[in-house]
Amino acid sequence: MTSTLPQASAGDAGPPPPSRPGRLRRALALARNTWRGLTSMRTALILLFLLAVAALPGAVLPQRTPSPNAVDDYFGQHPTLAPVLDDLGMFDVFATPWFAAIYLLLFVSLIGCLVPRSIEHLRGIRTEPVAVPRNLARLPHHAESTSDEDPDAVVARARRRLRGWRVAVRSEPGGVRTLSAEKGALREVGNLVFHLSLVALLGGIAAGELFGYEGQVIVMADGSEFCNSGIYAYDSFRPGLQVDGTGLDPFCLTVDGFRATFRPDGQPDSFEADVRYQDTAAVQRGDGVWQEHDLAVNDPLRIDGERVYLLGHGYAPRFTVTFPDGQQRVGLVQWRPVDQATLLSEGATKIDPPGVTDEAQRRRSQLAITGLFAPTSSGGGLVTSVFPALNNPEVAVDVLRGDLGLDSGRAQSIFSVDQGMVEQGRLVRVARENLRPGEEITLDDGTRVRFDDVQNWVSLQVSHDPAQTAVLLAAIALLGGLTLSLTVRRRRFWVRAVPAGPTVPSTTDGRTVVMLGGLARTDRAGYGEEFGRLAAELAPRRTGDAGEPDTEVTGRTVPDPAVPEEVAGDVPAVADDRTAPAREARDDDGEDDDGR
């Protein structure tokens, strides 16, 4: 048997298809969901973790900002790996776009979370503590007793005992009096202070990157002077994004001497430089008054918001070149340490011949003294250093003559000569010798090159960070907020005083039933003892007519015949199994602590 279903006619209209949301609505929904995800706790933790991971290369690898020489040494030791790391920005991690992206996303995530949370917390502080739950026996901590006092006296005694708590007293039908108490709001305050301080810390660091600057300069420790008059005074200068170098605070500094002590194994013990300085006011007055200061490592000189650090030191061999006509030129240029343990140094001292007006002849007669300097030479034919102090100085030099390429327009290092000139034969070695102080070389044309002595040089760094104080205060506030959030517990305590009567069959007339309840909003650890002390004072145990105590103080839910079996509207039920942990009741105001 077959049946035929009725066919819908062409004119019958079915239900309309659901309308698709418009593009604007979909875009708004996407933006809303993206914002919620960005400002969630999980996203903030992920960004914080990524920021820590991204900062690791800055701690492991040398960075150009504080130690450009260390970066150059790394390139020399790892010629294959270093260029790859440099392309990834590993030698200037904190200025890379990917680090800034993580930084800014974390900044936005924190602000987006803290603003509504701060408003919510301020609103919560201004409101009274929540009302007493209907069934206190279902709370993790509860107690019950009877008292000869009337409900008003019970509540008044509880209010005196809970001094320092936020308290609200209310009345219920039937002459029932209740008291709601809350304490530990400083936990949330500490939590907010911690995160707000983190935002301030990030903002301070960002302000320092925008309006601060750092510059390095090498100064001879022989009375040479350095003035913070412009970026041209520095060997290297790293300005902030909003700094053009024209508004530097002028101050001057003179390095009169340098002292270094070393341990027997060659490890440095102390570095100190004798300096004199003029601050901005003294420079502008032009009175010539200088102030003395001992500049040491990790003990900067602070001048008008700038900090002058002593980064390191090295040696500069002094050479005197006497030309055949009797004229002399003195060369004193810093040489770069190639071995930090022994301060074995390399460099190039470049000298132009005097009195030569013909350009071609001058280029053919330029001299360069290159080689290695050992502050404590081993004494062999191959010059090497065995100790960083100036105990037995010796220098191994190559004297080159020809065109140094100083007028070629190409930049070249002060520590070496242009190898292109050497390869083209325009710069030729004319002598090689090991020299001690006072010894000299005579070249084929009668020119004499004498190694006179050695001078110390110091490496200084001038740093300006207008947000340094703000960063320090933010860090202190961050630690204070973290301490509060970890040590303060948020807890609530409730009292219900019910006058005896027909509704309370377990008591006799004239007595008041005192019901207590407690709840730790975030962490119940330690609250049981505090609740026990409060319950012992406010609901003391008494002995009834049958000799059995009629008060029960417990930290878990136990069936109580004195409490009607009703469903508490604002406190969830817990299992009667004594072996199962009591579930914590949800906050009455719906607030959940997520740690943010």
**Amino acid residing at 38:** L
pTM: 0.67
Q: Which of 248, 223, 218, 137 is nearest to 557 (CA)?
A: 137
What is the rounded distance in angstroms from the CA atom of residue 469 to the CA atom of residue 205?
Answer: 11
Q: Using one digit for the tens of pLDDT, what is the confidence trace for 271-296?
A: 999 999 999 888 888 888 899 999 99
Q: Which residue ranges form the domains of the chain, and what is each CATH number?
A: 27-123 (no CATH), 130-184+489-596 (3.30.2030), 213-464 (no CATH)
In this prediction, residue 380 carries a pLDDT of 80
CA distances from 547 to 175, 383, 536, 541, 542 (A): 29, 102, 19, 12, 9
pLDDT over 50 (residue 399): yes
Largest CA distance in the chain: 133
Q: What is the 3-state secondary structure (H, E, C) of 521-583?
A: CCCCCCHHHHHHHHHHHHCCCCECCCCCECCEEECCCCCCCCCCCCCCCCCCCCCCCCCCCCC
Q: Using one digit for the tens of pLDDT, what is the confidence trace for 291-314?
A: 999 999 889 999 988 999 999 899
Contacts of residue 126, defined as CB under 8 A and 6 or more positions apart, other chains included, come to: none
pLDDT over 60 (residue 574): no
- Provide the 8-state DSSP code for 438: T
In this prediction, residue 522 carries a pLDDT of 64
182 versus 594: the higher-pLDDT residue is 182
Which of 125-129, 208-212, 592-596 is predicted least confidently? 592-596
Q: What is the 3-state secondary structure (H, E, C) of 349-392?
A: EEECCCCCCCHHHHHHHEEEEEEEEECEECCCCCCCECCCCCCE
Bridge-based pairing of strands 306-322 and 328-332 is antiparallel
Its sign, for the CA torsion 235, 415, 344, 394, is negative
Which of 402-406, 505-509, 553-557 is predicted least confidently? 553-557
DSSP string, 66-131: T-HHHHHHHHHH-TTHHHHHHHTTTTSGGGSHHHHHHHHHHHHHHHHHHHHHHHHHHHHHHSPPPP
Which SS3 state, helix, strand or coil, does residue 418 take?
coil
**Interval 182-200 mean pLDDT:** 89
Residue 188 — very low, low, confident or very high, per pLDDT cuts 50/70/90? Answer: confident
How much of the chain exceeds pLDDT 90, in percent?
A: 38
In this prediction, residue 25 carries a pLDDT of 84
Q: Using one digit for the tens of pLDDT, what is the confidence trace for 412-422?
A: 888 999 888 89
Residue 19 — very low, low, confident or very high, per pLDDT cuts 50/70/90? Answer: low
- Provide the 8-state DSSP code for 148: S
Residue 7 — very low, low, confident or very high, per pLDDT cuts 50/70/90? Answer: low
Measured in residues, the chain has a length of: 596
581 versus 442: the higher-pLDDT residue is 442
Q: Using one digit for the tens of pLDDT, what is the confidence trace for 71-97?
A: 888 888 888 998 999 998 898 888 888
What is the rounded distance in angstroms from the CA atom of residue 172 to the CA atom of residue 497?
Answer: 10
